[in-house]
Chain A
Amino acid sequence: GAGVSQSPSNKVTEKGKDVELRCDPISGHTALYWYRQSLGQGLEFLIYFQGNSAPDKSGLPSDRFSAERTGGSVSTLTIQRTQQEDSAVYLCASSLVGASGSGETQYFGPGTRLLVL
């Protein structure tokens, strides 16, 4: 079956503009995660969705960042009034249930490379 897909692959925008990044998780996965990876760095957790539960937004760096997940499937990460420091690769992942500390594998999409000029 298809893996996690993300669009666009690359996005170049001007400082101050809003951007929307899309993630299509693996069908049947109830847990969805967004991470950010700055150049040469590891991944930084942004937000987590699990089923109908309230999302964990604790990793969002500012109120310019928001995300939603419609119908328990597709998710959109929105960055308002983009800044140059927002430039990074934004990675989405999904997993089957996202719970229990049992070490569930997260399956990652190819990422969206965002460049803010």
Chain B
Amino acid sequence: SQQGEEDPQALSIQEGENATMNCSYKTSINNLQWYRQNSGRGLVHLILIRSNEREKHSGRLRVTLDTSKKSSSLLITASRAADTASYFCATDGGSSYKLIFGSGTRLLVRP
């Protein structure tokens, strides 16, 4: 069963706007990762944040983690049409290797 819940399920924004996606999880974690998926195919790793980190940046991506609330957010700034994809958070559920995925947010960036 899926651990995470993501919201919104779908998000439609105009190019240039920021997109924020949220993820909640249930168990303790060592780290949380965000992945991107185009067209229902392979996933691409975006960013990882460890349980002792609160915020992390990578290019136009900003991830926050609040372990007390068991939640994370992914912010994409200055969105582009090419950012259109599904975005998933994944946790290790406290184990060393098994990833537990959320249900994903479908992002549409309108040109």
Contact = CB atoms under 8 A, between A and B. Distances in A.
- A, B: real partners: yes
A76 to B, nearest CB: 18
Interface stretch (A14-22, A78-86, A107-115): A107-115
B48 interface: yes
A42 to B, nearest CB: 4
| B interface, over-half SS | loop
Contacts of B101: 35, 42-44
- Count class of interface residues, chain B: 20 to 34
A42 B97 contact: no
A42 B102 contact: yes
Interface string A46-57: 001010000010
Contact of A110 (B35, B41, B94, B97): B41
Contacts of A108: 35, 42-44
A95 B98 CA distance: 11
A67 interface: no
B100 interface: yes
Nearest to A45: B98
Interface of B: 1-2, 4, 30-31, 33, 35, 40-45, 48, 50, 88, 90, 92, 94-104
User: Which 9 A-B pairs rank lowest in CB-CB distance, beginning with the nearest?
Assistant: A103-B31, A42-B101, A101-B30, A43-B101, A108-B43, A108-B42, A110-B42, A101-B96, A98-B97
